[in-house]
Amino acid sequence: MKTKTLLMASAISAIGSAACAEDYVIGVMSAQSGYLAPYDGPAYAGFQFCIDEINAKGGLNGTIPVRLIVKDTRSDIAVGVQVVQEMIDEGAEFIVSSADADPTIAAAQITAADMIPTMTFAGTAPVLTQVGPHVFGSYPADNQQAAVLAGYAREQGFESVWLVKSPDSAYTLGGPEYFGEAFSALGGKVVGESNYSLNQPDFSAIVTTIQGAATPPDLIVTWAWEPDFPAFIRALRGAGLDTQVMGGDVLDTPTIRGLGDVVTGVVHTSGGFPDEGSAYADFIDRFKAATGTEPDNNYYVNGCDIAHMIEQAIDAAGSTDPAAVSEAMAGIENGEGIMSNFTFAGTDRMPLRDVVVARISASGDKEFVLRQSADPAILPKP
Amino acid sequence: MNAPSLNTHPTRLQAANGLRTVASLAVLLVTVAVLVWGFGRTGERIAVLMCVNVAAVVSLMVYCGNTGIVSFGHGAFMTVGAYLSGILTMPVGLQRSALPDLPGWLAGYELSVLMAMPFVALAGLAVALLTGSAIARLAGASATIATLGLLIIVHSVAVSAREITRGSQTFYGVPRVTDLLIVLIAALVFVLIARVYRESRWGLFARAVRDDKDAATVLGIAPSRARLIAWSLSGAMATVAGALYGHILGAFSPASFYLNLVFAQVVMMIVGGMASVGGAVVGVIAVTFMQNSVRNLEGGTTVLGFTLPEVFGLTTVALGLAILLVIWLRPQGIVGGFELGPGAGALLLRRVGRATRPADAPVPVGEMQLVAQGLSKNFAGVKAVDGVSFEVPTGRITGLIGPNGAGKSTLVNLMTRQYDADTGTARIGDIDLTYLPPHGVINRRVARSFQNLRLFSGLTAYENVLVAALAAGHTRAKAHAVTLRELAAFDLDDIADMRAENLPYGARKRLEIARALAQEPAILLLDEPAAGMNPAETDDLADRLETIGRDRNIGILLIDHDLKFVNRLSARIVVMNRGQKVAEGTPEKVRADVRVIEAYIGRGRTARVAGQN
């Protein structure tokens, strides 16, 4: 009986939400639970905030109101496939997919038939756009982040690097490998590599290996995230090794900065930095005023930038036809974003965007170090 | 209405099994029909995923349900299936760019999904046989841990084998299967296979081992072989289910088949009822309906004028609640311990009239004897059995008595290989039983019952005896006839379709002997068959044993504490005390033996009794 009632309710809700013809319908896959929730949650919040702002001004480019269909994927790829199909059934003309390569590629294979543009919230694996010309990244890709970080490391005079990576995810494996490639291209040397498993509680064996290396590295690079990075850095510093550590944008969180002395001086990449008076700082103020929540990572603003990317692509296309929007998106050059500007033209649709390098200060704050685009000459191939 | 005749039981059982298969298939078909006709395209898509889940969970149940071992390792088979099928079916051009380093022998096939399936199933079978050779030797928690180990190993290999799997990166370009008909047919075929296997000889053997490994072993069932067959079939099916899952996703990575998926499928199986195919089907349906109903409420909606807010995560909460409720209210799952559908005793089947003729009494056994020679067994320095020798010839009942702890049951355990003897032999002709594997003793026509009842609690009384007859090597038709004969011999007609665990005590005792006799042994070792029976039941049992011993000329070793019962039946009695044989002879001679009196009432009292005389 309960099931019947729930099914009736579902049916009623489906009927009640039938599309209005003039709306531009955007389907959003948003994992509200599971491993993608920490990224999809903020990204969706930022996206919805800016779509609301756009709608308040009459819609995209002031003329096309947006209607969102948002569905939870629970970070489950099978559910993701199901919801993408449902959203297309419900008239979605653009799909914003979860912040990882697996669900984005799975979604992109479904949207390929109608060339419905598909953009990941924050997936950074460069491979994800290889599925077709309708698939787009939004965040600076791993290879761009790695190339900028490698350039900075070489400028600082680091000669030898030890890579700590995990084959358990494309991000934790790809980031350090891209770094090693770019670092070598700039004349540095990879002197050793260690592998760890995600959620590995003890890093003492890796630390001992680094300690005992024939050629001690002057730099350690890892794309490890929580809780692996805290466990690693504690083991490293606990063993008395004060080697410089650099990492990916996943270290740009309040919890990492709150680890205390062990992370002082750690350098990491980031998608953006809210300089005083910048559009990013203004976004933070507006978002906080409207929602009461302070955006404490870049996924919020990147979610907002996706709304602006869609708006500019539709403007360039002069229509909402999916194939035309895909083509127009791929041709955008120096599009205006809040986190940073973006260029799809000439790329394989992972946008060229500025990468920020930041340092964690002794007081646990994020210090701006530099902002630059990756040098195409040393950009590792996906 | 009168109870149906026992002799119609085989036909009724066959009909019931057929109806149970139809019930599982019908539940699935009706559900798919409701989804498709009630909810259109969305319903059809839910049905596609549900059918693949049915295939996967039914595969899982073939092993878990029939062996009682929860497996977390089936994600490993699904991984193998998805990647292999993906590689075999991927368009050649796409394969060159997505998998540039793919070994030549794997590249360039571009088969259709249907064509790839036999190869996928064979690969799954090979992996299952290889891994099963180790895992099938284990039971309980250690087997579960081993399956988890398999999952971790295959996951790690999939992550490392980057040339073949793209490592932890997304494996894409797999042709998508979105046709409901294909996955529905697959799910129906899987249900059919699982049902046929469950009621087959090997399915019954696996369930017997699940319920009592030692009892199954003495019937001649090799536990590891029974489990290996369940594992292999289950593994091959799960590999095909994994391939289907891969084809509905189109893109995946090793993480797609790891713990999250495995836990979800185990939950579906447990929610529905792990012991039955119908349970697996109902579990998948229940979880699918619950998740999809709640999912549509998550985004916020208006129901009957009430506006519900956006609450994400409801599906996870609802799933957790469902598991809690099921564990609390129905620990055996929604369907329970039985298969979905009517049993052989159902009213619906009472009109089934076709009878099977019970088997004729077996040909009387010829002259032979079981000879124990110098059998000994120490447990941590305690001599449980110490150099005991005696004979159990056919054609008579030999009593074995002694006070508690005398070593009687240990002696039987030595002769039937439940324990390894430290020294001594137990021979049938030239064959020394102590060198045989435990399940090989019955091949020498030595059967036994246990001191503590060891029935297959999840099987009916009829199936308990049927398993023994099948294990003796009879054809199915002959096994049914033998089962009818033995159940009638022990007056178990009325309770044939009851589960063993629900039988009254006396019936259970008789059933255990009937089960042993279904194997047509030459020597039957009965360990306290009358324990716990009232005098009338004991007399009745004595009559039956006398008749059977006389008609079949079998040799019975009768252990019991009821000396009146033993004296009545036994032509010769062996007496044990503190692990040693202290007397042997006719009942009269043994009764008068001072060592026997000492064993039972103590040395001091014996002296006083002697003095008073």
Provide the pLDDT for residue B16. 95
Instruction: Give residue-wise pLDDT tens across range B488-510.
Output: 999 998 899 999 999 999 999 99
Determine the Cα–Cα distance for residues B514 and B489; give it in Å rounded to an integer: 8
3-class secondary-structure state, position B277: helix
The CB density around residue B159, as the number of other CB atoms within 10 Å, is 23
Provide mean pLDDT across the span A20-46.
86
Q: Rg of the Cα trace of chain A? A: 21
Nearest by CB to residue B312, choosing from A72, A127, A169, is: A72
| Chain A residues touching B251 at Cβ < 8 A | 77, 102, 105-106, 108-109, 131
pLDDT bracket for residue A15 (50, 70, 90): very low
Mean of per-residue pLDDT scores for chain B? 91
* Amino acid at residue number B441: V
| Fold (topology level) of A19-140+277-350 | Rossmann fold (3.40.50)
Higher per-residue confidence, A274 vs B321: A274
| Chain B residues touching A108 at Cβ < 8 A | 251
Tell me the two tokens of residue B513.
């002997």
Provide the pLDDT for residue B212. 96
3-class secondary-structure state, position B432: strand
With respect to residue B196, please indicate whether it lies within any of the assigned structural domains: yes
Task: Judge if B235 and B374 occupy the same domain.
Answer: no
| Chain A residues touching B49 at Cβ < 8 A | 78, 81-82
CB contact under 8 A, B49 and A110: no
DSSP strand E in B414-538: where?
423-428, 431-432, 446-448, 523-527
For residue A77, give the nearest of B52, B15, B537, B499 by alpha carbon.
Answer: B52
Instruction: Give residue-wise pLDDT tens across range B333-392.
Output: 999 888 898 988 888 888 877 889 999 989 999 999 999 999 999 998 889 999 999 999
DSSP strand E in B269-381: where?
301-303, 306-308, 369-379
Residues of chain A with CATH 3.40.50.2300: 19-140+277-350, 142-270+356-372
- The DSSP string of B159-212 is HH-HHHH-TTS-B--PPP---HHHHHHHHHHHHHHHHHHHHSHHHHHHHHHHH-
pLDDT bracket for residue B317 (50, 70, 90): confident
Does residue B301 carry a pLDDT above 80? no
Mutation test of the interface with chain A: which of B57, B79, B312, choosing the one with the most A Cβ atoms within 10 A?
A: B312
For residue A169, give the nearest of A219, A132, A224 by alpha carbon.
Answer: A224
| Chain A residues touching B255 at Cβ < 8 A | 102, 168-169
Does residue B610 carry a pLDDT above 80? no
Interchain CB contact of A291 with B (< 8 Å)? no
Instruction: Give residue-wise pLDDT tens across range B381-423.
Output: 889 999 999 999 999 999 999 998 899 999 999 999 999 999 9
Cβ atoms of A330 and A134 closer than 8 Å = no
Provide the pLDDT for residue B2. 61
Task: Judge if B36 and B157 occupy the same domain.
Answer: yes
Does residue A12 carry a pLDDT above 70? no
Q: What is the pTM of this model?
A: 0.84
CATH code, domain with B573: 3.40.50.300
Cβ atoms of B281 and B271 closer than 8 Å = no
Provide the pLDDT for residue B230. 98
Provide the pLDDT for residue B296. 72
Instruction: Give residue-wise pLDDT tens across range A199-218.
Output: 788 999 999 999 999 989 99
| Chain B residues touching A127 at Cβ < 8 A | 169-170
Nearest by CB to residue A81, choosing from B170, B249, B315, is: B249
With respect to residue B36, please indicate whether it lies within any of the assigned structural domains: yes
Mutation test of the interface with chain B: which of A3, A17, A28, A72, choosing the one with the most B Cβ atoms within 10 A?
A: A72
Provide mean pLDDT across the span A320-349.
95
With respect to residue B303, please indicate whether it lies within any of the assigned structural domains: no
Query: Residue B18's Cα: distance from chain center in Å?
Result: 20
With respect to residue B310, please indicate whether it lies within any of the assigned structural domains: no
For residue A187, give the nearest of A148, A219, A141, A153 by alpha carbon.
Answer: A153
Exposed (0-12), middle (13-18) or buried (19+): which is B546, by Cβ within 10 Å? middle
For residue B60, give the nearest of B74, B46, B47, B49 by alpha carbon.
Answer: B74
Rounded (5°) CA angle B211-B216-B217? 135
CB contact under 8 A, A109 and B176: yes
3-class secondary-structure state, position B532: coil
> Could you give the number of structural domains in chain B?
2
Instruction: Give residue-wise pLDDT tens across range B222-276.
Output: 999 999 999 999 999 999 999 999 999 998 989 899 988 998 899 999 999 999 9
Provide the pLDDT for residue A17. 41
- The DSSP string of B493-511 is GGGTTSBGGGS-HHHHHHH
Name the A residues in 232-261 with CB < 8 Å from any B CB.
none
- Strand A352-353 and strand A342-343: pairing? antiparallel
Task: Judge if B253 and B400 occupy the same domain.
Answer: no
Interchain CB contact of A125 with B (< 8 Å)? yes
Does residue A257 carry a pLDDT above 50? yes
Name the A residues in 212-231 with CB < 8 Å from any B CB.
none
Cβ atoms of A105 and A132 closer than 8 Å = no
Interchain CB contact of A210 with B (< 8 Å)? no
Provide the pLDDT for residue B312. 67
Provide the pLDDT for residue B300. 65
CB contact under 8 A, A78 and B248: yes
Provide the pLDDT for residue B211. 96
Mean of per-residue pLDDT scores for chain A? 90
CB contact under 8 A, B301 and A102: no
CB contact under 8 A, B303 and A74: no
Q: What domain range includes position B222?
A: 14-257
Interchain CB contact of A130 with B (< 8 Å)? yes
Buried b (16+ CB within 10 A) or exposed e, B170-185: bbbbbbbbeebebbbe
Find where tokens 């329970």 sit: B336
Provide the pLDDT for residue B118. 97
Q: For residue A227, say if its preceding peptide bond is cis, omega within 30 degrees of 0.
A: yes
- The β-bridge partners of B388 are B375
Nearest by CB to residue B299, choosing from A70, A74, A173, is: A70
Helix then strand count (H, E) for chain B reads: 22, 12
Provide the pLDDT for residue A182. 96
Walk across the sheet containing A135-136 and list its strands.
A66-72, A24-30, A94-97, A118-120, A135-136
Nearest by CB to residue A10, choosing from B168, B249, B296, is: B296
For residue A70, give the nearest of B41, B308, B295, B307 by alpha carbon.
Answer: B295
Provide the pLDDT for residue B310. 67
Does residue B540 carry a pLDDT above 90? yes
Does residue A77 carry a pLDDT above 80? yes
Instruction: Give residue-wise pLDDT tens across range A148-207.
Output: 999 999 999 999 999 999 877 788 989 999 999 999 999 999 999 999 987 788 999 999
Provide the pLDDT for residue B606. 52
| Chain B residues touching A110 at Cβ < 8 A | 176, 250
| Chain B residues touching A14 at Cβ < 8 A | 42, 296
| Chain A residues touching B167 at Cβ < 8 A | 167, 170, 173
Instruction: Give residue-wise pLDDT tens across range B176-185.
Output: 988 999 999 9
- What ipTM score was computed for the predicted complex, to two decimals? 0.70
Cβ atoms of B606 and B594 closer than 8 Å = yes
CB contact under 8 A, A32 and B313: yes
Provide mean pLDDT across the span B295-302.
70
Instruction: Give residue-wise pLDDT tens across range B98-155.
Output: 888 899 999 999 999 999 999 999 999 999 999 999 999 999 999 999 999 999 999 9
CB contact under 8 A, B298 and A174: no
Cβ atoms of B564 and B539 closer than 8 Å = no
Provide mean pLDDT across the span B431-455.
93
Q: For A345, what's the count of Cα atoms within 13 Å in the CB-facing half-sphere?
A: 9
Mutation test of the interface with chain A: which of B30, B172, B301, choosing the one with the most A Cβ atoms within 10 A?
A: B172
**Which H helix or E strand runs over B489?**
helix B476-489
Find where tokens 């000879």 sit: B371
Q: Rg of the Cα trace of chain B? A: 29
pLDDT bracket for residue B602 (50, 70, 90): low
pLDDT bracket for residue B603 (50, 70, 90): low
3-class secondary-structure state, position B307: strand
The CB density around residue A258, as the number of other CB atoms within 10 Å, is 11
pLDDT bracket for residue B166 (50, 70, 90): confident
pLDDT bracket for residue B293 (50, 70, 90): confident
Cβ atoms of B172 and A170 closer than 8 Å = no
Q: For A105, what's the count of Cα atoms within 13 Å in the CB-facing half-sphere?
A: 23
Instruction: Give residue-wise pLDDT tens across range B512-532.
Output: 999 999 999 999 999 999 998
Higher per-residue confidence, B295 vs B231: B231
Among left, alpha and beta (phi > 0; psi -120 to 50; other), residue B417 is left
Q: How many residues does chain B have?
A: 613
With respect to residue B296, please indicate whether it lies within any of the assigned structural domains: no
Residue of B nearest to A105 (CA): B251
Cβ atoms of A127 and A351 closer than 8 Å = no
Provide the pLDDT for residue A67. 96
Q: How far is CA B549 from CA B96, B450, B521, in A?
A: 75, 19, 11
Cβ atoms of A262 and A232 closer than 8 Å = no
What letter does residue A18 receive in the DSSP assignment?
P
**Which H helix or E strand runs over B231?**
helix B223-249
CB contact under 8 A, A86 and B42: yes
Determine the Cα–Cα distance for residues B373 and B394; give it in Å rounded to an integer: 17
| Chain B residues touching A11 at Cβ < 8 A | 38-39
Provide the pLDDT for residue A169. 78
Instruction: Give residue-wise pLDDT tens across range B75-86.
Output: 999 999 999 999
- The DSSP string of A72-137 is E-TT-HHHHHHHHHHHHHTT-SEEEE-SSHHHHHHHHHHHGGGT--EEESS---GGGGGG-TTEE-
Determine the Cα–Cα distance for residues B263 and B257; give it in Å rounded to an integer: 10
Exposed (0-12), middle (13-18) or buried (19+): which is A62, by Cβ within 10 Å? exposed
Q: How far is CA B476 from CA A241, B205, B221, B466, B483, in A?
A: 73, 13, 16, 9, 10
Interchain CB contact of A308 with B (< 8 Å)? no
Provide mean pLDDT across the span A218-241.
94
User: For the structural domain made of A142-270+356-372, what CATH number should be given?
Assistant: 3.40.50.2300
Provide the pLDDT for residue A11. 41
Determine the Cα–Cα distance for residues B525 and B519; give it in Å rounded to an integer: 13
